[in-house]
């Protein structure tokens, strides 16, 4: 390997969709075929066929790395063999189902963690995922689909990608594919049409995928004339390396033990991404807390760190004053607080706290976020 490539980080391309059957895997394999035909060393690191003949046909001629068998509860499961891919050391690896959770006993818990290992080794990766697996959209997805998505990817992973492209198909065309048995077997297809595959649901998900892809393009704002084999990746990386203007917006998320805090964190993180703003998750400890409340706050702070949000733990008897003082000291322009619950005593205290924050932060935008879970019931 030439010296200038010895320490390079692999390029990551995400093919984004909004539902099963829109063509993410097909496009990944098609791009793999094109790259291989152009003389690049391409392997299939992981591929999930789902019985789709057209997609399976696209694997012809591409080297497939055998899966690793993991034993769990007296059953054998097949996972991507990351170590085998590293040993093979291809130029480009095709990896299906980016958000997948590995079976217990695997070296890493998530497939996206496996992909990071490949990237660190200098292997380029093309992978696939649906919009509903993006962590910051988790609450909105539950509202749209009525389903709680358990396998999520932190937003910073998609920001880490050099390129995000959309595998698009209109809801009508997707439903037609469903009826023809292209996506699922007939019995499963009928169940899907009465649940996730409702036209209104698919339309809403597609709109979110279109917006997310447009946002990713806007964030990178790159020249498509990149010489890198995977498209705009090289241009994206070089543009990220350029000096950027000083951040104008800074967002503070108020962390408490309340269950609604998780949704608040997702909301603040997503707004920060759109505004390209710094983001803080801040809790104020007024007094010794019960163990249950302390553990809840620690969970929320850990969740914030996983989303690459800077966390702070402050102390003081006047929670509103301490929070707003921190905001002024750190140049915060927006504060996100949760709308208080309607239980009698906690509601009165929290409502007073929110009102005091609003009164003290006259020069800062304060956004009071309602609990979306209530509106879904």
Give 221-258 pLDDT, tens digit per residue: 644 444 566 664 433 333 333 333 444 789 999 999 99
Q: What is the mean pLDDT of residues 47-51?
A: 88
175-210 pLDDT, tens digit per residue, is 999 999 889 888 888 888 888 898 889 998 998 898
Share the mean pLDDT of the chain: 86
Q: What is the mean pLDDT of residues 120-127?
A: 98
What CATH number labels 3-240? 3.40.50.300
250-376 matches 3-240 in CATH topology: yes
Residues 234 and 226: beta-carbon distance below 8 Å: yes
Q: What is the mean pLDDT of residues 27-39?
A: 97
Q: What is the mean pLDDT of residues 12-28?
A: 95
> Residue 39 has what pLDDT?
97
Q: Is the pLDDT of residue 150 over 80?
A: yes
Cβ neighbours of residue 62 closer than 8 Å, sequence gap 6 or more: 29, 32, 33, 36, 42, 43, 44, 94
- Which tokens is 238 given? 């070089």
pTM over 0.75: no
Q: How many helices and strands, by DSSP H and E, does the chain display?
A: 16, 13
* Degrees, nearest 5: CA angle 166-80-125: 40
> Can you tell me which residue has the tokens 């409702």?
198
Rounded-to-10 torsion of CA 356, 360, 366, 370 = 0
* Per-domain boundaries in the chain: 3-240, 250-376
Query: Would you tell me how many other CB atoms lie within 10 Å of the CB of residue 133?
Result: 21
What CATH number labels 250-376? 3.40.50.620
**CA 371 from centroid of its chain's CA atoms:** 21
Residues 41 and 289: their CA atoms lie apart, in Å, by 57
> Residue 243 has what pLDDT?
38
72-92 pLDDT, tens digit per residue, is 998 999 999 999 999 999 999
Residues 102 and 115: their CA atoms lie apart, in Å, by 12
């Amino acid at each position: 390997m030439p010296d200038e490539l010895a320490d390079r980080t692999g390029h990551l391309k995400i093919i984004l969709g909004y539902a099963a059957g829109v063509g993410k895997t097909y496009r990944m394999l098609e791009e793999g075929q094109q790259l291989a035909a152009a003389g690049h060393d391409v392997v299939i690191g992981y591929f999930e066929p789902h019985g789709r003949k057209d997609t399976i046909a696209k694997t012809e001629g591409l080297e497939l790395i055998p899966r690793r068998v993991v034993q769990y509860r007296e059953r054998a499961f097949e996972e991507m063999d990351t170590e085998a891919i590293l040993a093979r050391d291809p130029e480009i690896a095709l990896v299906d189902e980016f958000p997948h959770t590995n079976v217990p006993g695997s070296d890493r818990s998530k497939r996206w963690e496996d992909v990071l290992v490949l990237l660190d080794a200098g292997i380029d990766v093309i992978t696939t995922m649906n919009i509903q697996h993006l962590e910051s959209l988790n609450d909105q997805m539950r509202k749209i689909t009525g389903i709680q998505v358990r396998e999520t990817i932190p937003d910073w992973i998609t920001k880490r990608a050099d390129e995000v492209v959309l595998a698009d198909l209109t809801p009508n065309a997707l439903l037609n594919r469903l009826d023809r048995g292209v996506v699922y077997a007939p019995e499963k297809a009928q169940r899907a049409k009465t649940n996730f595959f409702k036209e209104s649901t698919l339309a809403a998900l597609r709109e979110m995928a279109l917006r997310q892809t447009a946002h990713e393009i806007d964030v990178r704002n790159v020249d498509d004339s990149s010489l890198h084999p995977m498209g705009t990746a090289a241009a994206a990386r070089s543009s990220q390396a350029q000096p950027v203007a000083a951040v104008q917006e800074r967002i503070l998320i108020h962390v408490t033990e309340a269950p609604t805090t998780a949704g608040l964190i997702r909301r603040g993180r997503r707004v920060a991404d759109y505004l390209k703003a710094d983001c803080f998750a801040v809790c104020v400890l007024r007094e010794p807390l019960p163990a249950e409340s302390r553990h809840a706050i620690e969970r929320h702070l850990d969740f914030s760190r996983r989303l690459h949000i800077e966390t702070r733990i402050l102390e003081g008897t006047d929670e509103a004053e301490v929070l707003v003082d921190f905001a002024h000291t750190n140049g915060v322009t927006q504060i996100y607080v949760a709308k208080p619950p309607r239980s009698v005593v906690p509601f009165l205290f929290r409502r007073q706290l929110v009102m005091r924050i609003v009164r003290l932060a006259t020069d800062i935008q304060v956004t009071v976020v309602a609990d979306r879970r209530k509106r879904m019931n």
